[in-house]
Amino acid sequence: MSAEIRKITVFVEETLSEMGQTISPPTRKAAAVAVIANPFAGRYVEDLTPLIEIGAELGGLLGRKCVEALGISPAQAESYGKAALVGEDGELEHAAALLHPSLGKPLREAVEKGAALVPSSKKRGGPGRPLDIPLGHKDAAYVRSHFDGMEVSLADAPRPAEIMVAVAVTDSGRPLARVGGLKTSEVEGKDGLR
């Protein structure tokens, strides 16, 4: 099954200063959001394989859109995350089917490597509801400077029988990060932790 996509929206956030301090180079985040038809809206279905397959399609597509929006090479991506907002006629398990079994591998290919787990969130809501996409370093979970998030919303989505699926990618960590932890220069990227 291929995703029935109504629209794709890409957001780019660039922070140039924080607390009176210049951020140079600016920290940048991109999120790509697909609004798709929920093939199981309004009914219980035991086998969610079609949503798992759609998740695999969207992982690569949305990841590539983020990398392109940032104007970086896949290797320059530093952190990533994923999230889904299910319309009222769907269930949270629909979001889980999209996000967990198969979305990660093509997203990792889009950002080159990605040894760490992809942080995720899921929720149910209607049009205009904000969706928080958690972020973490793509190769090492202990890089605290990359514990972050990006909020997105669409005025017309998700409709009751739709799902918003989002991927976020950054080219850096938080601006002015200073709470310790592993530095990006120390990342080994072997076990997903360090």
**pTM of the full predicted structure?**
0.96
Helix (H) or strand (E) holding 191: none
What phi and psi values does residue 76 have, to the nearest 5 degrees?
Answer: -80, -10
DSSP letters spanning 64-90: HHHHHHHT--GGG--EEEEEEEE-TTS
Adjacent-strand bridge partners of 157: 154
Taking 50 as the pLDDT cut, the residues of the chain under it are none
**pLDDT value of position 193:** 86
pLDDT tens digits, residue range 79-121?
Answer: 999 999 999 999 999 999 999 999 999 999 999 999 999 999 9
Kindly give the interhelix angle for 92-99 and 49-70, rounded to the nearest 10 degrees.
60
Report DSSP state, residue 188: -
